[in-house]
Chains A and B, each alone.
Chain A
Amino acid sequence: MADQLQVELVAADRLVWSGEAKMVIARTTEGDVGILPGHAPILSLLVDGVVDVQTQEGETWVAAVDAGFLSVAHNRVSILSEHAEMSHEIDLEKARADLERAKSAGENDDEAEEAVRRAEARIRAVERAG
């Protein structure tokens, strides 16, 4: 059994990151899952949140994703999301401003709630990486 994962983090309009990793942690609709090499094939839905990728060298990449998928098969992990950003690409100030704006836009609004979740995920990603 191969001892590392081939990870691809893909957004709708670009390939965000790809490489080899030891472990991937993502938040699915059923809760957080950790994927290690040799994981059983799985296709799962992600919620807005943070994905951690631990590379072979012990580095940790953090990315914010909005709802998407995680598919694992034969040590290949693909994470698909309409919008995905690596932590170092995120503008923290802007994310905070987005959060404020979305929060003030009203709580009953579905769109605002979604924006709140997305902004929170981005802030979390930056904080986790920092």
Chain B
Amino acid sequence: MAVSLREYRARIKSTESMKKITRAMELIAASRIIKAQQRAQAAAPYARELTRAVSAVATFSNVDHALTTEPENPRKAAVLIVTSDRGLAGAYSSSVIKEAERLTEKLKEEGKEVEVYISGRKGEAYFKFRQRPVVQSWSGFSDQPTYDVAHDIGETLIGAFLNDDDQAAAEGVPPGVDEVHVVYTRFRSMLVQEPTAVRLLPLEVVEGEEPPAEDELLPLYEFEPSPADVLDALLPRYVQSRIFFALLQAAASELAARQKAMKSATDNADELIKKYTRIANQARQAGITQEISEIVGGVNALADANAGSE
């Protein structure tokens, strides 16, 4: 009995040290969420101004741009899946991947080929393990993305989207995609994060501005050097800032998911410790009882033996 008692004590000890770790991770995640939310807030003015500028150009010029035109016969779609670099965040990565699989199914039913782009090591591992092709992946930043990363991803995706004409295909460059989708986790609140799929390209410019009031005319912008040039420079940035937004949201969601997962891990550890302590106490008592009965039994046997010899 003494052996198992020692075993239980060891288990209690190891559970306690695990609890310390999960507790620390919970606290770290909690403090990082605040930072992630601040970053998301800090990025908001840029997105707002950019949206305003894009809708201004879209409203006041009739310039068509390659990034906004719908291909007549979409056959190929790119999907960017935003996952995390590290696990220990509950179902965070797997629910994003599940959402992405749903989208992939849908696109395939529509007769489109799907190319996968990935951000985050968890997604890379998922596709590598299943030996499914990934066009390009980025990792190493999932809990604090910088704008440079978004810039990089944006350029790649825009490149894939624009590389669409027959000329490029004739030159042996792999033909581009006709649509770009992004699957990421939207941060609704500390408790609710939902995986979301949005179509990034071709662009649908959300009209950011309210309809002009009767007495106030929208400014009639002059464009320098020309509307087409301005649009050329604006739209890629708009795409990049949308991607940046998705990455920031995903980062906040990842941290929230991790905090939740680590909190329940800590709670579970607490419960385990309680359970093991009870079992250990029981074992200890059983050991004592057995010792006593052994002693009593021994004494009785001795007494019997003595009585017999006399």
Task: Please give the residue numbers on chain A whose beta carbons come within 8 Å of chain B beta carbons, in ascending order.
Answer: 8, 10-15, 28-30, 40-45, 67, 69, 71, 73-74, 78, 80, 82-83
Asked, given contacts A42-B224, A45-B230, whether A69 binds B53 with beta carbons under 8 Å apart, the answer is: yes
Contact A13 B146, beta carbon cutoff 8 Å: yes
Contact B224 A71, beta carbon cutoff 8 Å: no
For B57, the chain A residues whose CB sits under 8 A away are: 43
How many whole Å from B16's CB to the nearest CB in chain A?
Answer: 41
Give the CA-CA distance A41 to B52 in the complex, in Å: 13
The chain B residue sitting closest to A40, CB to CB, is B222
Give the CA-CA distance A13 to B39 in the complex, in Å: 7
Taking the complex as formed, is B184 at the interface, i.e. its CB lies under 8 A from any CB of chain A?
no
For B233, the chain A residues whose CB sits under 8 A away are: 45, 67, 69
Contact A29 B53, beta carbon cutoff 8 Å: no
Give the CA-CA distance A41 to B233 in the complex, in Å: 18
Give the CA-CA distance A69 to B42 in the complex, in Å: 18
Asked, given contacts A14-B42, A43-B223, A44-B230, whether A71 binds B49 with beta carbons under 8 Å apart, the answer is: yes
The chain B residue sitting closest to A80, CB to CB, is B49
Contact A10 B224, beta carbon cutoff 8 Å: no
Size of the B side of the interface (Cβ < 8 Å), in residues, is 30
Contact B43 A41, beta carbon cutoff 8 Å: no
Contact B49 A41, beta carbon cutoff 8 Å: no
Asked, given contacts A12-B147, A12-B244, whether A73 binds B46 with beta carbons under 8 Å apart, the answer is: no
Give the CA-CA distance A40 to B221 in the complex, in Å: 8
Cβ-neighbour of A12 out of B46, B219, B229, B230 (below 8 A)? B46
Q: Within B227-242, which residues are at the interface with A (CB < 8 Å)?
A: 229-230, 233-234, 237, 240-241
- In the complex, per-residue mask of B224-264: 1 if CB is within 8 Å of any chain A CB, else 0: 11000110011001001100100000000000000000000
For B45, the chain A residues whose CB sits under 8 A away are: 8, 10, 14-15
What 7 new A-B contacts, CB under 8 Å, besides A43-B224, A71-B221? Answer: A8-B45, A10-B46, A12-B43, A13-B42, A41-B222, A43-B56, A69-B234
Contact B225 A30, beta carbon cutoff 8 Å: yes
Taking the complex as formed, is B5 at the interface, i.e. its CB lies under 8 A from any CB of chain A?
no
For A11, the chain B residues whose CB sits under 8 A away are: 46
Taking the complex as formed, is B30 at the interface, i.e. its CB lies under 8 A from any CB of chain A?
no
A-B pairs with CB below 8 Å: how many? 83
Q: List 24 A-B contacts (CB under 8 A).
A: A10-B45, A12-B46, A12-B147, A12-B150, A12-B240, A13-B42, A14-B42, A15-B42, A29-B229, A30-B225, A41-B219, A41-B220, A42-B221, A42-B224, A43-B53, A43-B57, A43-B223, A44-B224, A45-B229, A71-B53, A71-B56, A73-B56, A80-B46, A80-B53
How many whole Å from B60's CB to the nearest CB in chain A?
Answer: 9
How many whole Å from A90's CB to the nearest CB in chain B?
Answer: 18
Contact B46 A44, beta carbon cutoff 8 Å: no
Contact B223 A12, beta carbon cutoff 8 Å: no
The chain B residue sitting closest to A76, CB to CB, is B219
- In the complex, per-residue mask of B147-174: 1 if CB is within 8 Å of any chain A CB, else 0: 1001100000000000000000000000
Give the CA-CA distance A11 to B53 in the complex, in Å: 15
Give the CA-CA distance A10 to B224 in the complex, in Å: 20
Give the CA-CA distance A40 to B220 in the complex, in Å: 8
Q: Within B266-294, which residues are at the interface with A (CB < 8 Å)?
A: none
Per CB-CB distance, the 8 closest pairs between chain A and chain B, nearest first, are A41-B219, A73-B219, A44-B224, A12-B147, A14-B42, A15-B45, A41-B221, A42-B222
Give the CA-CA distance A28 to B224 in the complex, in Å: 8
For A30, the chain B residues whose CB sits under 8 A away are: 224-225
Contact B221 A43, beta carbon cutoff 8 Å: yes
For A12, the chain B residues whose CB sits under 8 A away are: 43, 46, 147, 150, 240-241, 244
Taking the complex as formed, is B24 at the interface, i.e. its CB lies under 8 A from any CB of chain A?
no
The chain B residue sitting closest to A31, CB to CB, is B224
